[in-house]
Amino acid sequence: MYNPYFVGKMAKQSMKRLFNTVILSLALSAATVSAKEPQAEVGGQLPLEELRLFADIFNQIRNSYVDDVNDRELLENAIRGLLEGLDPHSAYLDASSYDHLQTNTTGEFGGLGLEVSMENGFVKVIAPIDDSPAQAADLRAGDLIIELDDKQVKGMSLQEAVEMMRGPQGTKIVLTIVREGINAPFEVTLTRKVITVRSVRSKTLEPGFGYLRVAQFQTKTAEDFRFELEKLKRANKPLKGAIIDLRNNPGGLLQSSIQLADIFLDEGTIVYTEGRVPSSKAVFKASSSEPADTTPLVVLINGGSASASEIVAGALQDHKRALVVGTQSFGKGSVQTVLPLTQERAIKITTARYFTPNGRSIQAQGILPDIEIQRARVQPLNKDGEITEADLHGHLSRDDGEESTSRSRKQNNGNGEASLAESDNQLFEALNLLKGIYLMGQRVPAKAAESE
């Protein structure tokens, strides 16, 4: 699907003036293609020689290309190439792409459930979306899609590849994947369906310890997050700590990420942006209108955590409000402004870079976790043959009126942790760290706490 990364405060009027200036200059250059004398750039800004070259190529295509091509289509292709040549996130949005982008930010769309970008001519997976065909097929951040239904991706634009991956619900598509660590490409068959993104969900991992999964930053994400956090507090009295899972969260709306971080911060910068034009320079600060939530936090990130999710992780890390664990994030630290040109068309253009409160650039670097936890397969050792004191004949009683046996010990210990360790070792380790944070907080001497 098309990446819905768009944020920023670029003034629309100035952008429209710039766009109109370029179009006007192209028109002027087309009228002077035959001029023999070289001319200086207008205002020292626009290279007229290159604009003449563009107009000459445009005319050559109109006159000599094997098929007749509509002038409107040629100009749209030129605009598309102009933007896609800048970086992987700037793009021209025609009616279809613009509609998809607007739909994605509200949370429901059709397709495979993939956040993607273009890298070296191939489609690169940023993250699969929760409860999607892509996640069910175990597609991972960093996978390269080299073929779609036996058609080479090389040479396609990102928009063309995305259009191929979309389709009616229930239809199938075959993706050929290249994955690091696997010697040969392999095929995955996915069945398209309508993807409804549930932005936030929660559950209790163990009594007193909650889990909040943020899949994507949409319009109501912060509001939904508050609701799920309060639900955990009602179910766990007290809520000793919470894990915010931002793994494979590809980002979304800047304002939602700021609002979520603001839940846990009373003051200070959450994120700031810097760009070439004054309107792209902005500082977003925490609000003191409501007291910050003080629940101990661990934030989980990985290589699929990008954009808005990196803003939240970076802000909470810099303010020492949370322990960030997992693996290094994606490093998508640039601001995209969506500028509507008409009711059906827009351009998405990179206008600034993100910086964490401490001045760290997220772009191409990402967020480094405080504690690295690699994804791994954990196999608990079989304890069935262990002998304990409770198994010995004539062992001393517990002196509390209760009888202890090896079986009762195992029932008391339970097997939930072993199951979590096997299914998600990163979450299991994050839970252990959260328990440690809570226990150490309970053991701070009274005098030390007072001095703070």
DSSP 46-57: B-HHHHHHHHHH
Give every residue of the chain whose pLDDT is below 50, as ranges.
1-22, 28-43, 411-416
Residues 273 and 173 reside in one and the same domain: no
Residues 412 and 297 reside in one and the same domain: yes
Residues 210 and 307 reside in one and the same domain: yes
Segments forming the whole domain that contains residue 138: 108-196
Residues 339 and 399 reside in one and the same domain: yes
| Residue 248 resides in a domain | yes
Sequence length of the chain is 452
For residue 178, the SS3 value is: strand
Confidence at residue 88, expressed as pLDDT on a 0 to 100 scale: 86
Residues 189 and 267 reside in one and the same domain: no
- Tell the residue number behind the tokens 């010990």, with chain if given: 409
Residues 192 and 248 reside in one and the same domain: no
Give the H/E segment covering residue 205.
strand 200-206
| Residue 43 resides in a domain | no
**Chosen domain end from 130, 162, 196:** 196
Task: Kindly give, in sequence order, each residue whose CB lies less than 8 Å from that of residue 149, ignoring residues fewer than 6 positions away.
Answer: 164, 173, 174
Structure token digits, residue 184: 């040969």
| Residue 13 resides in a domain | no
CATH of the domain at 159: 2.30.42.10
Residue 90 CA to residue 346 CA, distance in Å, equals 11
pLDDT digits (tens, 9 = 90+) for 4-14: 333 333 434 44
Residues 255 and 395 reside in one and the same domain: yes
| Residue 101 resides in a domain | no
Residues 280 and 157 reside in one and the same domain: no
Task: Kindly give, in sequence order, each residue whose CB lies less than 8 Å from that of residue 406, ignoring residues fewer than 6 positions away.
Answer: 386, 387, 388, 390, 391
| Residue 408 resides in a domain | yes
**Residue 40 to residues 37, 49, 231, 421, Cα–Cα distance (Å):** 10, 9, 66, 68
Residue 249 CA to residue 355 CA, distance in Å, equals 19
Among residues 130, 143, 262, 318, the one annotated as catalytic is 318
Residue 118 CA to residue 110 CA, distance in Å, equals 20
Confidence at residue 34, expressed as pLDDT on a 0 to 100 scale: 40
CATH of the domain at 265: 3.90.226.10
Residues 288 and 381 reside in one and the same domain: yes
| Residue 14 resides in a domain | no
Among residues 245, 332, 334, 348, the one annotated as catalytic is 332
391 is catalytic: no
Residues 182 and 280 reside in one and the same domain: no
Residues 116 and 232 reside in one and the same domain: no
Confidence at residue 43, expressed as pLDDT on a 0 to 100 scale: 46
Residues 167 and 270 reside in one and the same domain: no
Q: Is 154 exposed, middle or buried (0-12, 13-18, 19+ CB in 10 A)?
A: exposed
**Chosen domain end from 150, 168, 196:** 196
318 is catalytic: yes
Among residues 305, 307, 329, 334, the one annotated as catalytic is 307
Confidence at residue 41, expressed as pLDDT on a 0 to 100 scale: 43
Rounded (10°) angle between helices 71-84 and 48-64: 140
Confidence at residue 450, expressed as pLDDT on a 0 to 100 scale: 53
pLDDT digits (tens, 9 = 90+) for 267-277: 999 999 999 98
| Residue 71 resides in a domain | no
**Chosen domain end from 145, 162, 196:** 196
Number of domains in the chain: 2
| Residue 131 resides in a domain | yes
